[in-house]
Amino acid sequence: MNVLDWIAKWADYTPYKVALTSYASNEKYTYKDVHIYANRLIEKFHEAGYREGDRIAVIAEHNVAYIVLFVACQRMGLILVPLNYRMASRELDKLVKDCNPRILIFSETLRSQLNELTLEGIETVNMERVIEAYKAEVSVAERDYDIKEDNPLFIFYTSGTTGLPKGVIYTNKMLFWNSLNTSMQLGITYRDSTINTLPPYHTSGWNVFITPLLHKGGHIGMMEKFDAQKALCLLELEKTTLFMALPTMLLMMQKTEVFKRVNLKKLRYIISGGEKVNAELVSFWKKEKDIYIRPGYGLTEAGPSITSLHHDMALLKPNSIGKSNFYLDLKIVNENDEPLGVGEIGELCIKGDIVTPGYWNNSVVTKSKIVDGWLHTGDLALKDEEGFLYLKGRIDDMYISGGENIYPQEIELLLENYTGVTKASVFSVKCERWGACGIAFVESKDKAVTSEVLREYLKGNIADFKQPKYIFVLDEIPLTSLSKVSRKKLNKYFNTLKL
């Protein structure tokens, strides 16, 4: 038995333990079920002549069938390419051409996404047929699979805020070390369970809890679409112990009718990240539900389990992303790649077996981002005197106004600390006088929160040169499909204004 074939081991050790639950179909798959189902799929792939390295693209919601497909791909050396079904067909077509899959598997509910894709030479199969194939009552001989640690397992396409999204290669080695990092840092055991509400086209939808729990023999409940109220009810009903949610999702959950009534005593803590996890959110959940939120940091190119703030420090170190997880090295460097000291802002770099070998069909970007084994993240960070890390935004976000370096995240955190403000986004625009100046968008439904009030508030808290030239208060800040602030939409809105 291959040491990376976790499902085969658990199917042998605890065959009748439930591994997966679908809340859409009310089905339960044991570890033995997943093992057998994956083997049946493999037989079908063998019959079709699939070979190691072939890509399988998928346009479907996250579900139990997707996980069976993942196990089959890992055993055969196929590369799973989860595509973002919220993209426009034109955008998806570029990704399909880039990864050139042997087959594209789709959910019936998303069939319309295929209409404008160039699919010549690519087989298309409905996910229902995949389920029928692995549920067919046929005997499949047991065999050992040669799962190679350096084989690509996933291609995850980044969000592509500038230009075409890049395909990040995710290997079996990354999978193993990320799982170990996560389990060590969070104390995950076979007794643990989660409810996954995250999409499959992002690394967090697989590698925050799903793959670590499969490694540990735990239980995973699958919600195909996030519903704040339903998620809360299921967390109580299933006695879930671990949960991952973006800050935006947590805000939606705490506004539901059932929030105050649900009993979440079994929930050890909530992991959050993907965007700023502010101190107010952490305090609210601790006060109202006696649950700690553990902020962390990760990115598609590494892990994603890179740093974690221990729950004992969640309120003592507000806005920190914690310290580095096990089995990786971190450093903060200046533009000359020289290490920086305490309190100095520089680029965060990562080294270890959780780092991607590179980008699919993009050796130029690979060589520019990974130097001597160090991944240059493009994220600005600093370390305090106790070794706790703080993000200060992206290098691309930092702007120079009148010769001064300005870090938007500092201003965003201040604005989000103002009563009535739920979210803030700050970035730069061209300015004839200073070269660049700041623009701030603030989300608030409180009529007392105005741009004038916020400007006065900032005057007492930051230097004049850091003051945004423009401040806009919106009822709602637009988000991307990953619940992050959509800079593209805000820029488009700003460009329509005659200022």
With a pLDDT cut of 70, the percent of the chain lying above it is 98
At residue 483 the predicted structure's pLDDT band, cuts being 50, 70 and 90, is low
Contact, 6 vs 214, CB < 8 A? yes
- Residues 443-473 have pLDDT tens digits of 999 999 999 999 999 987 888 889 999 999 9
What pLDDT score was predicted for residue 481? 65
Two tokens, residue 65: 């069938």
- Give the C-alpha separation, 80 to 78, whole Å: 6
Asked if residue 164 has pLDDT above 80, the reply is no
Select 6-383's CATH number: 3.40.50.12780, 3.40.600.10, 3.30.300.30, 3.90.226.10: 3.40.50.12780
At residue 346 the predicted structure's pLDDT band, cuts being 50, 70 and 90, is very high
Two tokens, residue 380: 């600005």
Q: Under CATH, which number does the domain 398-496 receive? A: 3.30.300.30
Burial 193-206 (b: 16+ CB within 10 A, else e): bbbbbbbbbbbbbb
Distances in Å between the Cα of 256 and the Cα atoms of 228, 259, 261, 365, 401 are 7, 6, 10, 44, 42
What pLDDT score was predicted for residue 229? 97
What pLDDT score was predicted for residue 161? 47
Provide the 10 A C-beta neighbour count for residue 259. 16
By mean pLDDT, which of 149-153, 178-182, 387-391, 419-423 is the weakest?
A: 419-423
Contact, 473 vs 449, CB < 8 A? yes
What pLDDT score was predicted for residue 456? 92
Asked if residue 491 has pLDDT above 90, the reply is no
Asked if residue 498 has pLDDT above 70, the reply is no
By mean pLDDT, which of 7-11, 375-379, 488-492 is the weakest?
A: 488-492
Asked if residue 160 has pLDDT above 70, the reply is no
Q: What's the pTM?
A: 0.86
Paired sense of beta strands 167-171 and 193-196, if any: unpaired
Contact, 293 vs 274, CB < 8 A? no
Q: Which amino acid is at 257?
A: E
Q: State the DSSP H helix or E strand holding residue 187, giving kind and residue range, or none if neither.
A: none
- Residues 228-261 have pLDDT tens digits of 999 999 999 999 999 999 988 999 999 999 999 9
Output the CA torsion sign for 48, 53, 58, 62. Answer: positive
CA-CA-CA-CA torsion for 71, 73, 76, 77, nearest 10 degrees? -120
Q: Is 1 exposed, middle or buried (0-12, 13-18, 19+ CB in 10 A)?
A: exposed
By mean pLDDT, which of 67-81, 396-410, 468-482 is the weakest?
A: 396-410
- Residues 261-299 have pLDDT tens digits of 999 999 999 999 877 788 889 999 999 999 999 999 999
Q: Which amino acid is at 379?
A: D
- Every domain of the chain and the residues it spans: 6-383, 398-496
Distances in Å between the Cα of 378 and the Cα atoms of 8, 301, 322 are 39, 11, 18
The overall average pLDDT reported for the chain is 92
Mean per-residue pLDDT, 336-342: 95
Two tokens, residue 412: 């965003």
What pLDDT score was predicted for residue 127? 97
Burial 384-414 (b: 16+ CB within 10 A, else e): eeeebbbbbbbeebbbebeeeebbbbebbbb
* DSSP symbol at 425: E
- Residues 101-146 have pLDDT tens digits of 999 999 999 999 898 899 999 999 999 999 999 999 888 888 889 9
- Residues 178-212 have pLDDT tens digits of 999 999 999 999 999 999 999 999 999 999 999 99
- Give the C-alpha separation, 446 to 102, whole Å: 52
- Give the C-alpha separation, 21 to 221, whole Å: 5
CA-CA-CA-CA torsion for 387, 391, 395, 401, nearest 10 degrees? -110
